Amino acid sequence: MSVEPVRILAFVNHIAPVPGIEADIARAFEWGVDVVVAQGTGSDWGPYWLGSGEQVSANQAANVEPYVRAAIEHGVPFVFSFGIAGADPHLDTCLEAFDALCLRNGWSLDVGVVRSEVDRDLLLATIAGGQPVVPAGPGAALSPRLSADDVQEAERIVALIGPEPVMAALDRGVDGVITGRALDIGLFMALPMLRGVPTAVAAFAGKLLECGGLALEPGDSGRCLWASLDETGLEVRSPSADARATVRSLVSHTFYERSHPTQEENPGGLLDLADATYVETPTGIRCEGARWVEAPYTVLMEGARREGFRAVSLLGVREPALLAQARSWADSAEAAVVNAPRFADAVRDGRLRVATRIFGLDAVLGALEPNQAVTGHEAGVLVDVVADTEELAKEAAYFAFIRLFIGPYPGRKTTAGNAAAPIMPVVVPVSEVFSFSIYHLLPLADPVAPFPTEVVRFPRAATVSEVEEDRHALV
């Protein structure tokens, strides 16, 4: 039995749309759209947001507004992941903003909300039952098998849910689906798989569409991307007159965020693009040849453990003699902290770490920097201290700062003015520090059961009542 084409309008919802995006959206809907999909979670920024529970921004609601408006006007569903780190606090912050968006626009929507925090009891039971929960790949400080201590020490644990929970939500006839942390391509796979599109084609489409206009030329995630999927492949088009889909731009994007050039491991299988083809058509790029290799079903989990507090100090240097020995000068400040009796216990116990990064020399790669040339005419030195308490971090950072600010070095001509302090106070307490202590694969017999759908009517009744109360209070 033949499969009806499934047409997807894709964008990224944690990036603001380019000016005039409404015209691009309208053009895509002229071609036909069956679902609007956007990813809005990721670990690109590291473990801080997940561990702290803080939200980088709730502007995802504002970013989706023109897309939701078009979806409502044309009667098609939307699928979004929200919240960057994607745990419950992040999702709830975004849902509040989405609630206000619906209220302001007078929209009444039934939305399937799928949370992706992992139940600790489920994890502990899995561990106790002897099922191996192993790292997704080699990584520093990751347990070779997840332990109960790992679970208890993590501030929050999320799973990159696959397409199945989204499919279950869409199957309930909702106006849209909003999830927490999710597998990016899984969001795009859900409706096509529900409508009979082969998994290989659905996953291929997800890989090409996951970052919206980033797969165009020029690439810009503030733009949207359109595709039509069928039994054998998909056609990709750019709705924008200022960017186009090319063979090069699409192939380049398939290498994005994976270690193997043609293979990507996903829940339940492996996407193999070794035989993929990309052909220009009069309207876009036709993509075929993807294969899906079945595998045991696992979902990747991310867990963040609190490591301590960070304090930093910044210095600027342009004194030539000092620049010529910038690394040894910075190393001496690190050694001064480590060897100071007042810090000895903390250093020995692993409760205090200090590092200096020289911008203009080795701040990005550190010891791996292959270019050992001296710095240019100026450099910035960042003292980076992590300790188990905020006070200890600040004290050690100041200790290092003073050593750099007025300490001696070979060839020094003056006792002051060799390094500048551009920021006051000279020591800035930054934040708590977290590490990814869990980056493991959780085996699941049922991909949906741990992540059930809650159908929520937006705007929520509580919000409407609160607004009405505010209005009455003003009267």
DSSP SS3 for 109: strand
Highest mean pLDDT among 61-75, 362-376, 406-420: 61-75
Confidence of residue 471 (pLDDT cuts 50, 70, 90): very low
Count CB neighbours of 431 within 10 A: 13
Per mean pLDDT, which range of 108-117, 216-225, 406-415 is the poorest? 406-415
Looking at the predicted structure, is the pLDDT value of residue 5 above 70? yes
Contact (CB, 8 A) for 441 and 137: no
What pLDDT does 256 receive?
82
Looking at the predicted structure, is the pLDDT value of residue 293 above 90? yes
What pLDDT does 2 receive?
83
The reply to whether omega before 144 is within 30° of 0 (cis) is no
Backbone angles phi, psi at 191, to 5 degrees: -65, -45
Confidence of residue 467 (pLDDT cuts 50, 70, 90): very low
How large a percentage of the chain has pLDDT more than 70? Answer: 96
Looking at the predicted structure, is the pLDDT value of residue 373 above 90? no
What pLDDT does 176 receive?
98
Cβ neighbours for 231, distance < 8 A, ≥ 6 positions apart: 2, 3, 197, 198, 201
What pLDDT does 472 receive?
41
Backbone angles phi, psi at 351, to 5 degrees: -95, 0
Closest CA to 346 of 389, 394, 402, 397: 389
CA 140, 119, 84, 170 torsion-angle sign: positive
SS3 assignment for 425-444: CCCEEEEEEEEEEECEEEEC
Contact (CB, 8 A) for 182 and 81: yes
Closest CA to 77 of 232, 203, 195, 213: 195
What pLDDT does 468 receive?
42
pLDDT in tens, 222-244: 999 999 999 999 999 999 999 99
190-200 core/surface letters (b: 16 or more CB in 10 A; e: else): bbbbbbebbbb
Confidence of residue 416 (pLDDT cuts 50, 70, 90): confident
pLDDT in tens, 163-203: 999 999 999 999 999 999 999 999 999 999 999 999 999 99
Cα separation, 193 vs 378, whole angstroms: 56
Closest CA to 82 of 174, 16, 169, 179: 179
Confidence of residue 463 (pLDDT cuts 50, 70, 90): very low
Q: Which residue has the higher pLDDT, 306 or 367?
A: 306
To the nearest whole number, what is the mean pLDDT of the chain?
94
Confidence (pTM): 0.91
What pLDDT does 11 receive?
98
Looking at the predicted structure, is the pLDDT value of residue 464 above 70? no
Backbone angles phi, psi at 93, to 5 degrees: -60, -45
What pLDDT does 29 receive?
98
What pLDDT does 1 receive?
61
pLDDT in tens, 355-371: 999 999 989 888 888 88
Strand blocks (E) in 160-216: 176-179
Looking at the predicted structure, is the pLDDT value of residue 414 above 90? no
Burial of residue 136 (number of CB atoms within 10 Å: 0-12, 13-18, 19+): middle
Q: Which domains does the chain have, with CATH numbers?
A: 6-116+160-295+445-474 (no CATH), 306-436 (3.30.70)
Looking at the predicted structure, is the pLDDT value of residue 115 above 90? yes
Confidence of residue 421 (pLDDT cuts 50, 70, 90): very high
- Angstrom distances, CA of residue 25 to CA of 19, 114, 244, 357: 12, 26, 15, 44
Q: Locate 327 and state its tokens.
A: 């690394």
Residue 190 DSSP symbol = H
Cα separation, 86 vs 95, whole angstroms: 12
